[in-house]
Each structure stands twice: as structure tokens, then as C-alpha cells.
Structure 1
């Protein structure tokens, strides 16, 4: 079949998305079992912990005490994008998040690229946080039983180790839970969220008692450039927001539930991040953050001289990172589930267990991929690559709001972004700025990843997508019209 440029821009009708997922009937292939609280906990669970327990040590050396402003900048960008996600999630409440939104608004090739970005955002992010689990597990073991895993078996190559065994074990545990079912995983995640928030508030209280102005001087040793660079790194911490939107087919009353869960997730996450960043910066000189394993536990241990404080934070880190890894792998499987349903990936990614109604094969494949990355790739590389995938996906979502307002002004929306096109445009500008601040090597790795992904698209997806069947049957024009959802 000769390649027609119009094939790359064919769009999936929103009416088809609703019919496939049972949006208007309450049915669908996945079980609808979650409400606002559980879904908000998924958002918070996949976010809080990533930035605070791990990325703070990567970001502070780039910006100094001004990393607080980096968190504010990243938070503002995330909040702008959250508004765009809320509108699209309430209009197209299905699994797949920004991949599905792009398919309905911008066309197949854009949607596929976004899907490739989401593989980075979720799969690589899950690997990144799993890498940090070994640090906190070793800290906890050292403070409680006086023994730690050998560095060769608890860190990846490039960071003093050979293979990160704890990271692989963590991914295996998360895989087991996700195979059992979304409701069970959401319940366990909610418990871990409450524990981690309590632990982080303990850190804030103790660290603020030792706050010293001297630790915040000089405030911005690397200037505005340092703040922007650090913001690009810590933005990796905001992926939980769109994990919420991947659950569109597993929540009750999605048009109301999704926007509320996105809103509360971003409020809770941004508040906690800024509080912990301020407390951490005031509690010790910023130069000490670089290379500091299990950073928050180390800070409290140095401040109090008492083992209990470090033990509590280390235990909180172990529990927190477990929850983050669990929900991030969950988001990854739901994106690939949608891509498999559309024919972009093999059918195995779309198959659902008849009793549990979860994508078991999909979960096993994703967990194997995540576990391998976590075992052998350094954290800093994973964090920046995740930020790139996240920011590209967020940019497309914001553009999708503008497009859908023009092409489908009549579409039912449970939430509308205030300010017309201003907020989406500001969101796009903020995302592009943070992309610009990423290291050059991240661009190179991202380009390689996209080249591999596009090779798969032109070799497999463009011929196997469901919309391709209509096209090959001589209905290209009709499919194009349907893609615009004017039928």
C-alpha cells in the first residue's frame, strides 16, 4: 500500500473512543472501580517521592538554594498543563492520556510520537525511581541492623555498582500487585501516600527547627541559567499528574472525577515539594547535596544525631518509592493498552485477563523493560530523559486543547480551561523553555529513541492501525472526515 501523507494525519473519532471504552454507558473492557480520593492518591503517589526523595540531590548542585525557585517554575508549568489535561480528560475520559488526546485532535503520527514520549515518561521514570530505592533500603538496613547490601549489587554501572538488585526486586513486587488488579493496587498506593506525607511533614518540622540563613547564601550561585536547568530536571517530578488521566476507563463518573483528581493532585504535590525544598536548603549547606545518598535521611541524621529520625525518613523513602514505582508502571501499561487497541502495537498489549480484567501480558512486558533499565542505567541519565518525554507530551496536550476548541466547540466538557487560548499558549511556552534547558546529551538520546520509534511506526503501525483498514478499503476520504469527527 503506497504511503499517502494524509494517512499520517488521520484522526480517531471521539465518538469511536467513547464507544470503545463504554464512557457513556459505564461499561468498557476495564473495571470502573475508582473515585476521586483513590484517583487523587494515584496522582500524588506517582509524584511525591520522585522529586523529593531522589531528584533534590540532582537539582540542588545545579541551582544552589535557588532550587526553591526551580520547583516553583516547574510547579507553575505543571499547573498550567494540569488545566489543559483537566479539560481534555473531561472531554475524552479514556485510557491513554495525551496519546489518546493527540489521536483525536492532531492525527496519528503525532499521537504515535506522543506515545513514544510516554514510554519514556512512565517506563524510564519508573526505572529512575526504582534506582533510588536501593539507596534508601541500604540506609534503612544500616541504621537498623548495621548491615548493607554491597555497592556492587545495590547501584547501577556508572554509580559504583555492577547491577542494582533492589531496583529489580522492587519492580517485580509492583508487577505482582498490578497483575492482581487496579483496585487492589490503588488501595495499597493510598496507604503508602498517607505514610509518605506524614514522613515528609516530620522532615519539614525537624529541618525547619534547624533552619539557618547562612545555608541560603549565596542564593543563586549559578544565576538564572542554573534555576532553569534545575527546573528542567525537577520537572521529572510532576509526571503523576497525567498518570491520573491514564485511568480514564477505570473511574466512576470520569467527566467529574478526572478534573477533580488532577486539580487536587497538583495542589498537594506542589505544596509538599516547596515545603520540603525550603526546609532541606535551610538545614544544610547546598554544597553537601551533591553525591549525598538517601539525602533526606542523611540530613535528619546529621541534624539530630539520633538514629530514630534517619530511620523514619529512610523507611518513608522505601515505602514512598515503592508507591511511585507501582503507580508509574500502572500508567505505562494503560498507555500501551490504548496503543495496542488502536493497532499501533501488537495485540498482546491490549489483551485483558478474563477474570481480573487487567492487561496481564502488557504488565509483564513493561515490568521486564523497567526492571532491566533500573538494574543497569544511572539515575541522572534516566531523570533528564524522562523530563524530555514528559515535556513533549505536555506540550502536545496543551496544543490539543486549542485544536479541539476550534474543531469541536459543541463537545461536552466537564471542565473548561479559563482564559480561552491564553493558558494553553502559556503552558506550551513554559514547556518549550524547560526543554531548551535540558542537557545536549539528552537531546541526542531522545533523537535516537524517536528514530527507533518511527522505524517501528513506518514498518508496522502505519499498516496495522485500525484506521488503516478503512484507508486500505478505499475510504481514505471518509476516514479523514470521520477522523475530524464531523460525522
Structure 2
């Protein structure tokens, strides 16, 4: 029998429904929405737009919508499970309740890719826009030796390390401070992106959208895979399950609002950029939005403002994603599957200080010395695998726990969860066979870690060895 932990046991062990737990409930619905926007909107649109446009051309709008549809199917699943199981473990905890310990560990292992690689990649993108901002304001740039990895012609990317260090410092101060900073940064970057749309649409030309799909369906499919990276992070909202004031109500609402807002924004930005200067000009531009504004206005001032917005936006992604990673590792540590240092919460700040600092160091190393282009697809396929597992967990829990209190239910069940799985598998296929081989090796390494460490130290196994723990505690009312 698989080791399955019931939703009631997950909530009881986390202390999510009782006072006096180490984490403090301080996030309302607005903070959760801002946290979600902070986790999503960053490198994907400020830096990665050019890659998506290079693949799909003006049809990148379709790619963004298709990527969003995949996310919406899974967002419904996250909304149902986030409201029913309001704990910090997110996908890992959902898989533990629905699919068992082995799958849960591998989901947690994949989340290291989603959060770890994305934070490092985002930090590298932050460095690019810092140089763009300095060039716009002062006419200078940091020397390549100190602002680029060896693969990009430098020695060490110090700005990338700096943004990770700043995020870690803010996170260990407390979740209230982190939430306020994330909210402020989210509002600022949304305002700058709306202003960008206004500038781009002022120079809109219909002819710039033709040919609409120069690479055909294949280009749209490849563009969808590239665009999907722009949505990574929305699931981080569920990692705030133990620090939200009303998680069962607010988490589902925050997830769906974030996906809707971000999709409309991405499509508007893409149309404004391409309509202003054409798809060929946007594709291949590392700081595409600043370039568009400079071309439209004929001045570097607007580009500098966009660069400032990108610096703020990308910093907020680092902050939000590092927050999510620390909470997931805390949940895995509580279960005994990884070392206990990650579950320790500071009584003074009510945050996992040691775990956060360890994460900062581990993420800073690849950010400093790698361009990470080679592993972006690996990050994407790992994220898609997690999303597929969450959709399957919804189906499994509907069958195993039909009476589980759910504040939100996936509509058109089981059609939408199955469509979510299908969309994830399609986008995984689009990453290519090389990425599949890398992913298989990554999963094999994770399985070895679980068998060699986690399985023997599992706290669930000490109570119910190789058994189902669905009846370990009574269901909550």
C-alpha cells in the first residue's frame, strides 16, 4: 500500500487551523493577489517576450492564450486543493494526500527545478535590466566581468547574487514585511506595463502584425512552450496556506484572479510591442520592452522607466519564489523527507530563517556563474510534470475523500482536470527529446535520494509503515 497522508492529517500536523503555530496569519486577499502577480510577472515578459516572438511571430498572442489555458485548467485544480488543504506544502502536500509519499517526494524534487532554476534565471535577467537602467540614467554600464557569467563573456554575475541576497534579507525579517514589499512592487510594475501598452498602442500599425503566424502551427506550439515560462509561479500562492488569514476562501480567488489579470496583460503587452515596431524587431531583443519604448518615443527616458519597472518586477519575482521554495522545503522537512534544518522557524520573526539562507546560497551559485539558457526547458518540463500531478491529485482525492470540505470545486469535473493533464503532456512533448532525457535523469536522481534518505526517515512510516494514513486523525469540520 502507498504511504498516503490524509488532508486532515496534513492540516493537523501543520497547525494551519489552530493558533500558536510558528507561522503567523498576516496575509489578506489583496496581499495574496499581489503575491501571485509578484511571483508571475517578471523575466518572462520583460526578458523572455523576445524569445516567444522569435518562435511564433505576432501569433505569440495565441501562444500566450494557449499557455494560459493550460494554466487555467491547473489553476482550477490548485484552487480546489488550496482551499481544501490550506498548508504550506502546495503541490507537494497535494500529491502526498492524493498520490502517496513517493510521488510527493518527486513532486517536491521537481519544485526545486521550478523554483530554483527560475529564481536563478530571473536573477540573471535582473542583471541585464540593471545595466539597461544604468545606461539610461547615467550612460554607464557595469563591467561585463562583474555582471555576466563566464558563458556570457564575464567572470561572475554580482547583480544576480545581490538581488537574491536582498530578497533573503527581507524574507527573514518576517512575512508581513515581505507581503508589503511584494504588494508595493506588484502595483508599480503593473502600472509601468499599462503605461508601456499605452505608448506601444500609440504607434500601432496593422501591417506590423503580418504575416501573423510566419512559422505556422509549429511556431505557435514552440511559442506556447516558451510563453509558458512567463506563467511559472502562480502556484506559489498556495504556499501561503498557513500565513493567509482566510486561506480556504482567499487562495482559490487569488489564483484565478492572478491568471486572468496576467493573461490579459501579457496579450496587451505583446500586441503593443509587435504593433509598434514589428515582430522581427522585437524578436532577439534581450530588453525588448525598453527597446520598443526608445524606438517609439525617440528618447531613452521612457526606456529607462521601463528598465526601472523591470528591475522592480524581477526583484519581486525573486522574493515571491524564494518565499514559496522555503515553505515547500519546510513541509518536506516536517515529514522527515529532507533534513530538519528546513523546518525550524524563528520564534522572533516567525520565518524559517536557516532554510531561507540556505536556499539563498544555493540559488546564488548558478545565478552567479551560469546563463541558465540550457536548463530553462528542464525547468519548464519539471513545472509541467508538477501541474499534471496536481490535476491527477484532484481526481484521486475526489474519489478517496468525497466528503472533504471544499470551498471551491473544479467545474466540469473530471473533464477539466483531464484536459489539464493533456495540455501539460503536450507542452512537455514540445520541449524536445533532449529535455526528456535530462528530466528522466533528474527524476532518477530524485528517486535515489528518496530511497536512500527520505523513505527511511519518513515520519509517517514510523506511525503506519507502508500503510494508508487516511484515518490517522478525524476529518475537520
TM-score interval for Structure 1 and Structure 2 normalised by the shorter chain: over 0.9
In the TM superposition, what are the counterparts of 1:337-416 in structure 2 within 5 Å?
337-416=330-409
User: Alignment partner of 2:153: what SS?
Assistant: coil
Q: Distance in 1 between matches of 2:437 and 2:365?
A: 21
Please state how far the C-alpha of 1:476 moved relative to its aligned partner.
Answer: 4.2
Partner of 2:141: 148
CA distance in 1, matches of 2:332, 2:469: 19
* 1:233–1:383 contact (8 Å) kept in structure 2: no
Q: Within the alignment, does 1:39 sit opposite 2:32 as a pair?
A: yes
Indicate conservation of the 8 Å contact 1:53/1:295, yes or no: yes
The number of aligned residues is 476
Residues 404 and 475, structure 2, Cα contact 8 Å, conserved in 1? no
Note the alpha carbon deviations across 1:390-428, whole angstroms, 9 max, x for none: 111111111111111111111101111111201111111
Q: Which region of structure 1 is more displaced relative to structure 2, 168-177 or 49-58?
A: 49-58
CA distance in 2, matches of 1:194, 1:238: 18
| Contact preservation (8 Å) 1:12, 1:484 | no
Matched, 1:192 2:192: no
Q: 1:212 deviation in Å?
A: 1.8
Deviation at 1:464, TM superposition (A): 0.4
Distance in 2 (alpha carbons) for counterparts of 1:476 and 1:307:
64
Q: Note the residue ranges of structure 2 that are not aligned, 5 or more in a row.
A: none
1:103 shift after superposition? 0.2
Distance 1:241 1:309 in 2: 29
Contact 2:6/2:469, CA 8 A, preserved across alignment: no
- Name the residue aligned to 1:459: 452
CA pair 291-151 structure 1, distance change in 2 beyond 3 A: farther
The residue that corresponds to 2:307 in the other structure is 314
> How far is the alpha carbon of 1:268 from its aligned partner?
1.2
Asked if structure 1 preserves the Cα contact closer than 8 Å seen for 2:294 and 2:302, the reply is: yes
1:420 aligned counterpart, secondary structure:
coil
Question: 3-state SS of the aligned residue for 1:411?
Answer: coil
**What is the TM-score with the length of structure 1 in the denominator?**
0.94
Q: Which residue of 2 aligns with 1:288?
A: 281
Residue 335 (structure 1) aligned to one of 319, 328, 338:
328
SS of 1:246's partner is helix
Counterpart residue number, 2:214? 221
Equivalent position SS for 1:46 = helix
- Write the deviation string for residues 215-253 of structure 1: whole angstroms up to 9, x where unpaired: 222211111111111211221222232010011011112
Task: Choose from 285, 291, 303 the match for 2:296.
Answer: 303
Corresponding residue for residue 157 of structure 1:
150
Distance of 2:103 and 2:195 partners within structure 1: 44
For residues 131 and 205 of structure 1, the distance between their equivalents in structure 2, rounded to whole angstroms, comes to: 28
Q: Unpaired runs of 5+ in structure 1?
A: 1-5
Q: 1:159 to 1:484 in 2, by over 3 A?
A: farther
Deviation of 1:290 (Å): 3.9
Choose which of 220, 231, 240 in structure 1 pairs with 2:224.
Answer: 231
Measure the CA separation in 1 of the matches of 2:22 and 2:220.
45
Q: Matched residues in 2 for 1:233 and 1:485: separation? A: 45
2-structure distance, mates of 1:485, 1:435:
39
Shift of 1:354: 1.5
**Cα deviation 1:69-101 (Å, max 9, x = unaligned):** 110000111111111110001111101111000
Which residue is 1:249 aligned to? 242
Whether the 8 Å contact between 1:20 and 1:28 is mirrored in structure 2 is: no
Q: Give the structure 2 partner of residue 173 of structure 1.
A: 166
Aligned counterparts of 1:352 and 1:469: Cα–Cα separation in 2: 23
Task: Using the TM superposition, give the Cα deviation of residue 23 of structure 1 relative to its aligned residue in structure 2, in angstroms.
Answer: 3.1
Residue 158 of structure 1 aligns to a residue in which SS? Answer: helix
Residue 116, structure 1, aligned to residue 122, structure 2:
no
Write the distance in 2 (CA, Å) between the matches of 1:289 and 1:36.
Answer: 36
Cα distance in 2 for residues equivalent to 1:486 and 1:197: 41
8 Å CA contact retained: 1:129, 1:324? yes
Structure 1 residue 481, shift from structure 2 partner: 5.7
Name the CA distance, whole Å, in 1 between partners of 2:470 and 2:167: 42
Q: Deviations over 1:160-199 (max 9, x none)?
A: 3332111011101111001111110110010001110111
Q: Which moved more, 1:91-100 or 1:371-380?
A: 371-380
CA displacement at 1:311 relative to structure 2? 1.1
CA deviation map 1:102-159 (0-9, x unaligned): 0011001110111011111111111111110111110110111111012232222333
8 Å contact kept, 2:48–2:286: no
Given that 1:42 and 1:190 are in contact with CA atoms closer than 8 Å, whether structure 2 keeps it comes out as: yes
Q: For 2:400 and 2:88, how far apart are their aligned partners in 1?
A: 22
Conserved 8 A contact 1:407-1:484: no
